[in-house]
């Protein structure tokens, strides 16, 4: 029996081809969600879509893209909103990690972690949350952080910077979106 919370809800999930994102997509499909999936890796994304559909789940749209590209996220969001309207649930799960001491991390490590782990979710929120507000149906925003977003760990400076930032945004949006019936986790 599907969980009534997810049943027929339009659910956007990033990082859906592997790890937590894949497991979440499979679980949401099993609970009756209408899925809109993305991941940077095309072949694994298509494999997840095939598996979900084989198991009787619904994937209305999927697209391989890099969440660090505002243009790519905006293009997908525009197409989804044109054809399906606003989402009910948005889950920012895509993320990467790099560890090392400050003397070993290069500028490109810092930049890539911030671009994917912090700016990627911001790109998604910029494109998907305002239409949810305008739709007036409430909903849910999930931003996956990490223990490294709660407290400092050795060798995690760049990763923690991105995850602390995402956690901070989530805490603010929990207050800002409450008036619209949009919950933030």
Residues with a known catalytic role? 159
Contacts of 164 (CB under 8 A, 6+ apart): 148, 149
In order of 20, 68, 178, the CA distances from 117 in angstroms are: 14, 8, 24
The kind and range of the H/E element at 59 are strand 58-64
Q: CA-to-CA distance for 147 and 61, rounded, in angstroms?
A: 31
Phi, psi of 98 (to 5 degrees): -145, 135
The residues with which 59 forms a beta bridge, in sequence order, are: 35
Q: CA-to-CA distance for 160 and 148, rounded, in angstroms?
A: 5
Q: Where are the alpha helices (DSSP H) in 63-156?
A: 70-84, 107-113, 120-135
Q: For residue 45, what is the DSSP state?
A: H
């Amino acid at each position: 029996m599907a969980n009534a919370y997810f049943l027929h809800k339009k659910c956007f999930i990033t990082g859906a081809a592997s790890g937590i994102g894949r497991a979440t997509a499979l679980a949401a499909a099993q609970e009756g969600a209408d899925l809109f999936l993305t991941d940077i890796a095309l072949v694994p994304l298509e494999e997840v879509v095939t598996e979900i559909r084989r198991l009787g789940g619904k994937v209305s749209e999927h697209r391989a893209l890099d969440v660090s590209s505002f243009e790519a996220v905006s293009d997908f969001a525009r197409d989804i909103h044109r054809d399906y309207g606003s989402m009910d649930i948005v889950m920012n799960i895509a993320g990467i990690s790099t560890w090392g001491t400050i003397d070993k991390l290069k500028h490109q490590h810092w930049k890539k972690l911030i671009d994917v782990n912090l700016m990627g979710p911001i790109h998604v929120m910029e494109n998907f949350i305002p239409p949810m507000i305008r739709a007036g149906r409430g909903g849910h925003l999930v931003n996956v952080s990490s223990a490294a977003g709660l407290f400092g760990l050795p060798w995690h400076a760049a990763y923690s910077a991105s995850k602390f930032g995402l956690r901070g945004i989530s805490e603010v949006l929990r207050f800002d979106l409450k008036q619209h019936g949009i919950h933030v986790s």
